[in-house]
Amino acid sequence: MSQFRKSRPFNGGRPVRNYQNRGGSQNRRQPKKAYIHPSKFVQSASPQTEQVYVPEHSFKDFALVEIIKTNLDAMNYQHPSPIQDQAIQPGLEGKDIVGIANTGTGKTAAFAIPVLNRLITERASKAIILAPTRELAEQIEQQCRVIGRGSGLDGVLLIGGVPMGPQLRDLKNNPRIIIGTPGRIKDHLTRGSLKIKDCNIAVLDEVDRMLDMGFVHDITHILSNTSTDRQGYYFSATLDARVRDVINKFSNNVTHITVKSGDTSSNVEQNIVMHNAQNKLDKLHDILIHDSTSKTIIFDDTHRLVEKLSKELAVRGFKTEAIHGGKSQSQRKNALKKFKNNEVTVLVATDVAARGLDVSDVTHVINYSLPQSYDDYVHRIGRTGRAGKIGNALTFIDEKVER
């Protein structure tokens, strides 16, 4: 997918008022948190021997065009993951798919492979792929670029936090793959710069997160503008009533695939930290000094709180960066690059900004604020304890509330 065009990152030029919030949910009111008993945040790590999944297919078994097979070989894709093993074949057959899978299961390739294969073999087909955050949309675009390298397919990445100009220019080339966030895609539909009535493939990645972010009306508007004769892919970590409603509205006779348990990792040592308003920051300070926290992600609720905490930790001598939806895309990418390269050891983030992050060797996840739900907790702490390593998750509990 050598012709995939990508908008230039925000370069410090003068943004429009509230530019970073255009097309997003950053100004929406914070939803009320579900009560989670503190005991749910306490669990000893109990590493288990990983059961080896035996796939029914190899990638060579799938009826893929040669260019995709060549690219998969170059990527050292030998055996499909469970979600890939079960989703690629029905995807190639044109079926609608509901995949319940966590981040890190290989779900992007599970839909990217059949989608790209169809676009290569059917010149009239077009696809639209929606993701909740800029980072995840970028990761999807990058993987599509690698899997489709050399195919001549043309695509565009439509996300907020970057100028409209390059996106408007790229859209004039009539790209056949549109990847982006719901808010920015809806902006282009409203402007008339994007026409998707001939999109006959629609992918919704992390549907539950998009609904959590308040994108239900944007999603409905976008899918209603696509072809009525479309193939749908719906991937989500959970399948609650809201997710079912969206799927049922736009698809019939779907193929359901589930490859997740919904439980926290057995490789993560989980515990709580009791605090009061006066000693909360000091307790965090002590943890970062004494608990061998070589690479830590700290979650807080809002842009303001994340920025404030990051600055407070920096004053205390910690190497920190903050990521949240109020930052430009280039700022977020730069912060993540520093974290991956160990230039900073502490990343303070909101849930939305951290969605889709793929960073290895995270030793600690600290919930400085409580998650919105237990599913969010599972997702947060899933960033540590990977690749057979023991991770640590600490959740701050206000002793006044739990007295």
**Residue 32 maps to a domain:** no
Residues 297 and 220 reside in one and the same domain: no
Residues 132 and 199 reside in one and the same domain: yes
Give the Cα-Cα-Cα angle 241, 80, 1 (nearest 5 degrees).
90
Residues 220 and 239 reside in one and the same domain: yes
Write out pLDDT tens, residues 136-165. Answer: 999 999 999 999 999 999 999 999 988 999
Last residue of a domain, one of 225, 258, 291: 258
Higher pLDDT, 48 or 185: 185
Q: Give mean pLDDT, residues 56-77.
A: 95
Residues 237 and 268 reside in one and the same domain: no
The reported pLDDT for the residue numbered 18 is 36
Residues 207 and 356 reside in one and the same domain: no
Domain with 126 in it: 48-258
Residues near 60 by beta carbon (within 8 Å), at least 6 away in sequence: 69
**Residue 41 maps to a domain:** no
Whose tokens are 């992390």? That residue is 206
Task: Indicate the number of domains in the chain.
Answer: 2
Q: Give mean pLDDT, residues 224-234.
A: 97
The reported pLDDT for the residue numbered 31 is 62
**Residue 31 maps to a domain:** no
Instruction: Please compute, for residue 256, the number of CA atoms within 13 A of its CA located in the half-sphere on the CB side.
Output: 10
Distance CA 73, CA 59 (A): 9
* Res 353 pLDDT > 80: no
* Res 6 pLDDT > 50: no
Whose tokens are 């169809």? That residue is 118
Contact 154, 170 (CB under 8 A): no
**Residue 388 maps to a domain:** yes
pTM: 0.75
- Helices 66-74 and 107-121 meet at what angle, rounded to 10? 150
Q: Quote the strand ranges of 126-175, DSSP E.
A: 127-130, 155-158
Higher pLDDT, 283 or 354: 283
Residues 104 and 174 reside in one and the same domain: yes
Residues 253 and 106 reside in one and the same domain: yes
* Sign, CA torsion 280/286/289/292: negative
Distance CA 250, CA 248 (A): 6
Residues 287 and 243 reside in one and the same domain: no
**Residue 177 maps to a domain:** yes
The reported pLDDT for the residue numbered 129 is 99
Write out pLDDT tens, residues 115-136. Answer: 999 999 999 999 999 999 888 9
**Residue 347 maps to a domain:** yes
Give the CATH number for residue 379. 3.40.50.300
Residues 97 and 134 reside in one and the same domain: yes
The reported pLDDT for the residue numbered 27 is 42
Percentage of the residues of the chain whose pLDDT score is greater than 70: 88
Write out pLDDT tens, residues 279-306. Answer: 999 999 999 998 778 899 999 999 999 9
Beta bridge partners of 234: 98, 204
Last residue of a domain, one of 219, 241, 258: 258
Whose tokens are 């799927």? That residue is 247
Write out pLDDT tens, residues 17-56. Answer: 333 333 344 444 556 777 888 888 898 887 765 567 788 9
Distance CA 41, CA 36 (A): 9
Residues 215 and 339 reside in one and the same domain: no
